[in-house]
Amino acid sequence: MRITSLDVVDVFVYVVILNLAVQFVPGVISESFATSLLTAIVLKLVLEGVLRLKKAVLSRLRAASGPLRRATSLVMLVLLLPGSKFVVLWLEDLLFGDAVSLGGFWSVTLLLVTLTVSRALVRRLLGARDPAL
């Protein structure tokens, strides 16, 4: 895995969105710019992992030949999407403790959706194809 210029742009977009959330959402707290930058990097890594897993599960769902495989893939997908929010909350607490708080489940969900949409919009603006979509 190598770092591309799009990865750097993604982290910058995540920092902007995260700091806007810190400013406007009462439950989201970051004590400094450095912690928000590190949080953005962690969010980038987690979101990349989740998008890859989602893509693999969707491929498995489309290729499923029997109802059991199809149901298993569907259950995996249903568990993956909310489970990723708990992973983000757990990692944030483990790595940053009280220095960063992303709020609860719903604020993290809104934050991750905003990050994903912002990433897609910025990549479209730059003319880059987003492989996650």
Could you report the per-residue pLDDT of 71-117, keeping only the tens digit for each? 888 888 888 888 888 888 889 899 998 899 888 888 888 888 899 89
> Considering its fold, how many domains does the chain have in total?
1
34 within some domain: yes
Confidence (pLDDT) at 62 = 85
132 within some domain: no
Average pLDDT taken over every residue of the chain: 87
Spatial separation of the C-alpha atoms in residues 133 and 116, rounded to whole Å:
10
Dihedral angle computed from the Cα positions of residues 44, 1, 5 and 46, in that order, rounded to the nearest 10 degrees: 0
| H-only helix segments in 1-133 | 5-24, 33-63, 67-96, 105-126
121 within some domain: yes
Confidence (pLDDT) at 74 = 84
Query: The tokens of 107 are what?
Result: 């604020």
Query: The tokens of 34 are what?
Result: 């450095």
85 within some domain: yes
Confidence (pLDDT) at 11 = 94
The range of the structural domain enclosing residue 27 comes to: 5-126
131 within some domain: no
45 within some domain: yes
* Phi and psi at residue 122, to the nearest 5°: -65, -40
Query: The tokens of 60 are what?
Result: 């498995």
133 within some domain: no
The confidence band for 132, taking pLDDT boundaries of 50, 70 and 90, is: low
Confidence (pLDDT) at 3 = 86
Share of the chain above pLDDT 90, in %: 32
The model's pTM is 0.81
**pLDDT exceeds cutoff 60 at 54:** yes
Find out whether 22 and 29 touch, Cβ atoms under 8 Å.
yes
Q: How far is CA 101 from the centre of its chain?
A: 16
